[in-house]
C-alpha cells in the first residue's frame, strides 16, 4: 500500500514509517500537521492515510477536520484516524457519508501490530473499521443529541439561557417574554427531557447538564 502518515509526534511518526516500510509498504509522506497532510494526499494520492486528530497549531481537532475536508474534496480518499482521544463532534461527520474507506482506532487499545495492519488494509479496501470504544461513545453522543432534538428552537434558546445561570425572570427580560410564557417553556423542556418532579432532584440543574452534555 502507498501510505501517508500525519502525526505530530516525531517518535511515533518515524516509528510508524519504519514499521510500515519493514512490512513492505510504501510510505510516500510522513508529515506533522494538517496542512501538510492535505498537500501530501493531493500530491501522492495514497491508498490510505493514517491521521492523528490533535495536531498543530491548537492540538485540538485539526487532523479530523482535515480528514473531513479531504473526504469531501477527494471522494474515496481512505482515512484511518489513529488517536488517543475519541472526538465525537466531527467523527460523526466523517462517518456520515457511509462511503466506507474510513477507520478510527485508539492508540492505547491496539494490542497487536497485526491487528493494526489488518485494519489499515481493510480501510484501504473500502471497509469501515471502528474501535468498540469509539462506537460506544459515538452512540452515547447520538443519544444525548437526540434527547434535545425534540426541543423547539425557542425551547433550546430558553435552555441555553438557563445554562448561563439566568432566572426565569431574567430569561423573560432577555427574550421579551412574559414570566408565564417562560414558565411554560421551562415546563415543556422538563417534559421533553423526561425530567419528572422529584423531591431529591433539581430538574433545572439536570436539564442544564443535559444541554451541556450535548
The predicted-structure confidence for 10-51, as pLDDT tens digits, reads as follows 999 999 999 999 999 999 999 999 999 999 999 999 999 999
Enter the pTM of the model.
0.66
State how many domains the chain has: 2
- Choice between 197 and 51, residue whose per-residue pLDDT is larger: 51
Q: What is the pLDDT of residue 201?
A: 59
Three-state SS sequence of 37-97: HHHHHHHHCCCEEEECCCCCCCCCCHHHHHHHHHHHHCCCCCEEEEECCCCHHHHHHHHCC
Parent domain of 49: 2-136
* Separation between Cα atoms, residue 163 and residue 6, nearest integer Å: 38
* Residue with grid cell 432566572, as numbered in its chain: 167
* Separation between Cα atoms, residue 193 and residue 144, nearest integer Å: 10
144-175 pLDDT per residue, tens: 555 677 888 899 899 989 887 889 999 999 99
Whether the bond between 8 and the residue before it is cis, its omega within 30 degrees of 0, is no
Residues 121 and 180 placed together within one structural domain of the fold: no
131-140 pLDDT per residue, tens: 888 777 776 6
User: Could you tell me the CATH number of the domain that includes residue 164?
Assistant: 1.10.10.10
- Choice between 211 and 66, residue whose per-residue pLDDT is larger: 66
Amino acid at each position: 500500500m502507498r501510505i501517508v502518515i500525519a502525526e505530530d509526534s516525531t517518535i511515533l511518526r518515524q516509528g510508524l514509517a519504519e514499521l510500515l516500510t519493514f512490512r513492505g509498504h510504501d510510505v510516500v509522506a510522513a508529515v506533522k500537521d494538517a496542512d501538510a497532510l492535505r498537500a501530501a494526499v493531493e500530491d501522492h494520492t495514497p491508498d490510505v492515510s493514517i491521521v492523528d486528530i490533535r495536531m498543530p497549531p491548537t492540538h485540538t481537532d485539526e487532523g479530523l477536520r482535515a480528514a473531513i475536508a479531504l473526504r469531501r474534496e477527494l471522494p474515496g480518499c481512505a482515512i484511518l484516524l489513529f488517536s488517543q482521544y475519541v472526538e465525537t463532534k466531527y467523527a460523526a461527520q466523517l462517518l456520515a457519508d457511509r462511503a466506507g474507506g474510513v477507520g478510527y482506532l485508539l492508540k492505547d487499545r491496539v494490542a497487536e501490530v497485526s491487528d493494526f495492519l489488518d485494519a489499515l488494509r481493510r480501510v484501504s479496501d473500502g471497509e469501515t473499521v471502528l474501535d468498540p470504544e469509539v462506537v460506544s461513545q459515538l452512540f452515547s453522543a447520538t443519544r444525548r443529541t437526540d434527547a434535545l432534538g425534540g426541543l423547539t428552537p425557542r425551547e433550546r434558546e430558553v435552555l441555553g439561557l438557563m445554562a448561563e445561570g439566568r432566572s426565569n425572570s431574567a430569561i423573560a427580560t432577555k427574550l421579551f417574554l412574559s414570566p408565564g410564557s417562560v414558565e411554560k417553556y421551562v415546563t415543556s423542556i422538563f417534559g421533553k427531557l423526561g425530567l419528572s418532579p422529584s423531591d431529591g432532584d433539581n430538574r433545572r440543574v439536570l436539564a442544564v447538564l443535559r444541554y451541556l452534555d450535548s
